[in-house]
Amino acid sequence: MEQSRFEIIKKWSKLLLPTVLGLAGGYLYYYFVGCNRGCAITSNPYTSMIWGGAIGLLLTNWKSKPKQKDEKTIEE
């Protein structure tokens, strides 16, 4: 079954938008809160952005339930 372009864009935007927002949030955390030495995550903007993006990706589907296929059961 083919998906329309709108469905594909909607599916990918649900994953990419929170990830990009997490990347931006990671950089902003580095910029405003980060330290210069001794901090493993906040001393480097790339690691802050990676952790922010990972958190954004993890929070994409935390409320949604997995879809179940509608199958009719045959009772004998």
Residue 30 lies in a domain: yes
Q: Which residues contact 42 (CB under 8 A, 6 or more apart)?
A: 29, 30, 33, 34, 35, 48
Domain of 47? 24-59
Residue 68 lies in a domain: no
Return the structure tokens found at 22.
């997490």
Residue 55 lies in a domain: yes
Residue 74 lies in a domain: no
Residue 71 lies in a domain: no
Name the domain count of the chain: 1
Confidence label for 27 from pLDDT (cuts 50, 70 and 90): very high
**What pLDDT, on a 0 to 100 scale, did the predictor assign at position 71?**
57
What is the C-alpha separation between 16 and 60, in angstroms, rounded?
Answer: 9
Q: Which of 52, 47, 43, 48 is nearest to 21 (CA)?
A: 52
**What pLDDT, on a 0 to 100 scale, did the predictor assign at position 69?**
63
| 28-67: pLDDT as tens digits | 988 888 887 778 777 888 999 999 999 998 888 666 666 6
Return the structure tokens found at 42.
């906040």
